[in-house]
Structure 1
Amino acid sequence: MAKTRASADQFAFTFDAPQPATLPAALAGVDARVARTVAEVLKNDDRDRLVIAAAMSVLLDEEVSKAMLDAYASPARDGHNISFARMLALIAVTNRFDLLDRELRAIGAAVLVGEEIYTAEIGHIDSEIEKL
């Protein structure tokens, strides 16, 4: 897999608990926000969009084209929103878990990647021991 350019915030991680979206209109405009995230993922990857689309197609076992990626990356094309499955495939082929984390924090969730789950499990065990 080709190297991707790292953005300044790609390595930023916080252990602050994200707050769930509960207020009225807390998720208003999320489609445009996701489109901007797709655009950011694509902009910061050195590979051609054709290559990214092909990698996504392989993961999903369905056709994803460069034109689809272009449409998903445009907030103005609100009739062409990326599906959750395709967003996951895009994140998987570009390794931009930081951007997925950023989007999930809007609903009170966070992303752990790979062996980071062990760190969370250790923290959970320590917390349970303290309670006992």
Structure 2
Amino acid sequence: MIRHRHSDDLTGDLFAFPRAAAQIDGTMDFRQPVSVMVGQMLESAHAAGLDRFEVASRASRLTGRDVSKAMLDGYTAPSRGGFNLPLWLAPVLEVVCSGTRLGQWHGEVVGGQLLLGAATLDAELGRLERERLQVAARIKALKDLSRRVR
């Protein structure tokens, strides 16, 4: 019987191993991609009914610090490399915009992935299953050794 592999755009490679970005001089200036991602996040929020004024207002309330629409505009301008999104504000904007684009990207850059909700439980269950199998294999090996020594 011949098996045909069917691929789709949603599944992804289940066996892909995350790797950190290569540490090559001059390749890790992430100001422009961060600006683009912040812009995309704000566009998605706008499509869901939140304009930049509302995003800024909510971020200001959540942080207790002034976050203005002008600041958001600056964070989304790749040409303003010196005015990039500060790390402390990234999770706040993700919460306000109901997105995880920055967190997912950050995880990928450092060689991991962002797991949320039930996926974190699944990952922990998988880790514990691997440990259980390793312990079971070790116990079996010790029992076999014990039988041979007697």
Tell whether the structures are fold-level matches, with TM greater than 0.5.
yes
Alignment correspondent of 2:29:
29
Instruction: Give the corresponding residue for 2:60.
Output: 57
TM-score, normalised via structure 2 length: 0.72
Q: Within 5 Å, give how 1:35-54 maps onto structure 2.
A: 35-46=35-46, 47-54=50-57
What TM-score do the two structures reach when normalised by structure 1? Answer: 0.81
- Asked if residue 127 in structure 1 is aligned to residue 130 in structure 2, the reply is yes
Q: Secondary structure at the match of 2:84?
A: coil
Higher relative contact order (CA 8 A, sep 6+): 1
Q: Where does structure 1 lack aligned partners over 5 or more consecutive residues?
A: 1-8
Query: CA–CA distance in 1 between the matches of 2:11 and 2:88?
Result: 25
Q: Distance in 1 between matches of 2:13 and 2:60?
A: 32
Letter in 1 for 2:73: D
Where do 5+ consecutive residues of structure 2 fail to align?
1-8, 136-150
Say how many residue pairs are matched.
123
Contact 1:37 1:99 in 2 (8 A): yes
Higher percent of residues as helix: 2
**RMSD, aligned α-carbons:** 2.2
Percent identity, please: 27
Max Rg structure: 2
Q: Which residue identity does 1:126 align to in structure 2?
A: E
* Pair 1:34–1:124, CA change in 2 (3 A): same
Q: Residue 117 of structure 1 aligns to which amino acid in structure 2?
A: T
